Amino acid sequence: MTEEAVRYERKGNVGFIIFNRPHRLNAINGQFLDDFIKQLIVAMKDVEAATVVMTGTGRAFCAGEDLKETSAGKTFEQWVEESDKLQDIQRLTLRLNKPLIGMCRGYAVGGGCEFALSCDFRVADETAKFGFPETGIGLTITQAGTKLLSQIVGLGKAKELAFTGEFIDAQEALRIGMVNYVVPAAELEKKTLELCEVIGKRSPMSLRLTRCAIDQGLHCSFEQIMEIETAHLMAVGGAGNEKTFVERRMKEHGMAKN
């Protein structure tokens, strides 16, 4: 039986989407894309997972397109199929109904950098490197990476990274806002799980709607996002979502309920 190129597992209430081609630095091929789509759907349906972590096995997060396979040649139809699957992955990631954290070590470049940027935020270790080599190998950024990169680091820096194809290290990624934290390699999973623990104590419904509002707010007017936020408030209020969490916070802070 062929081993999955992307697998899913859960530890407690944290789901893990794990790139699993360490012998190729988790580079992207056809099986990788098929398995990634499958595991995103599994993660979406996993009601026990409060958060999801995206990461890679071995020395890399994801080294982008598997150039060994690409160099063998692809037909136009194969390129179309790959593009469709990459963009389906981006759509599924954006529709994921829970927070998604990128846990990055080693190379997160090309399509791998786009996977990282599609996460809600990123934790990197000191070995991490980020970049977009596409212009140097005759390819282009495919899965809304141009938009995500511009939103996260700003237009000028996005163009510099995309045009030059230069890789940046973890500290530079932190400086420009591409990652939220940089930690020693031995502490990467610990730091990521600490963040998952904090987020996992929050209301799943509130998290889902807040994630949606922040993402939609990037493309809405102020009036539109206020309408969306009002609808979300009515949804959580109508469901009585706040009652359990307010009572829990009051108990945590030793506040007696009247």
Catalytic residue annotation: 114, 134
| SS3 per residue for 186-204 | HHHHHHHHHHHHHHHCCCH
Q: Name every residue whose Cβ is closer than 8 Å to that of residue 68 and which is 6 or more positions away in sequence.
A: 24, 27
**How far is residue 229's CA from residue 48's CA, in Å, rounded to a whole number?**
26
Torsion of CA 202, 62, 80, 93, to 10 degrees: 0
* Residue 220 in tokens: 């809405």
Nearest Cα to 128, choosing from 195, 190, 197, 56?
56
- Sheet with 51-56, side-by-side order of all strands: 6-11, 14-19, 51-56, 100-104, 121-125, 181-183
**Rounded to the nearest 10 degrees, what angle do helices 30-45 and 76-95 cross at?**
20
**Rounded to the nearest 10 degrees, what angle do helices 155-164 and 145-153 cross at?**
130
Type and span of the H or E element at 173? helix 170-175
